[in-house]
A and B are shown apart, each in its own frame.
Chain A
Amino acid sequence: MNVTINKQDEKTLVTLDGRIDSTNADQFQQDIAPLMEGDAPDIDIDCTNMTYTSSQGLRVFLLLQKSVMARNGKMVMRNMIPRVKEVFDITGFSNIITIV
């Protein structure tokens, strides 16, 4: 999983590329740690090239969503491929994270 973080004034653009599974979820959590703090909490995540996530990845997305909400921010995940979107649908994550 490659994580690209581009901090702008108002919000942060994030691009995810690859898989999130049990082997790299901890690393993924470390990679996105900068998004869990600061006073510009809005995040826009491009998921076009996120090919897979297990529950280990969902865990990190939920932590991030909680962190963003606690700072009154908004998190959006974009362009999720249908296979990955289904994982978010089944677990109810589509209802608690804005997916467009």
Chain B
Amino acid sequence: MTKKRFNPIKERSSEIVSFLMASPDMPKDPDLRFKIELSIEEAVENVVRYAYEGGIGWLEAGTKLDDESLILTIELRDAGTPFNPLEKADPDVTLTANERPIGGLGIYLCKNMMDSISYRYEDGNNVLVMKKQIKN
């Protein structure tokens, strides 16, 4: 298990992503790493940009593997404004270019790139957990 608390987090999302991607829990396969990195970036960016007024606050980021090294779990925890990003409606991906609004794709990408994503509010913290099978 790898875990670190970043404080403050303003403009540090790439550092947080790099920390998680350097975890020994991460797979080597480039396609898997791409999907995981993208999901982490989108989720971390959400916290860094929106969780705290003025961006002042902390984010705890961690990875772990199950006993069989089959399932990677990524957990992000912050004490910002309670917000469940999974309640946001998915974007309508069938609209034309002119109809498409700018933005709103980050969490949708996480949902599609990871096997599961869940949110809970616990002890005054937002907790986002993403899981990905990394071995057959």
Q: Of the 9-residue stretches A4-12, A30-38, A39-47, A87-95, which lies at the interface with chain B?
A: A87-95
Chain A residue at minimal CB-CB distance from B49: A22
A59 within 8 Å of B by Cβ? Answer: yes
A63 contacts across to B, CB distance below 8 A = 102
Cα distance, A56 to B38, chains bound together (Å): 11
Among candidates B38, B45, B97, residue contacting A65 with C-beta atoms closer than 8 Å: B97
CB–CB B102/A21 < 8 A: no
Interface flags, A58-72, vs B, CB<8A=1, else 0: 110011011001000
B112 contacts across to A, CB distance below 8 A = 90
CB–CB A21/B41 < 8 A: yes
Interfacial residues, chain B to chain A (CB-CB below 8 A)? 13-14, 30-31, 34, 37-38, 41-42, 45, 91, 93-98, 100, 102-103, 105-106, 108-109, 112-113
CB–CB B13/A22 < 8 A: yes
Residue contacts A-B, CB under 8 angstroms, 23 given: A22-B13, A23-B14, A52-B37, A54-B38, A54-B42, A54-B45, A55-B42, A55-B103, A55-B109, A62-B100, A62-B102, A66-B98, A83-B34, A87-B38, A90-B93, A90-B112, A91-B93, A92-B91, A92-B94, A92-B100, A95-B93, A96-B97, A97-B97
Cα distance, A54 to B105, chains bound together (Å): 9
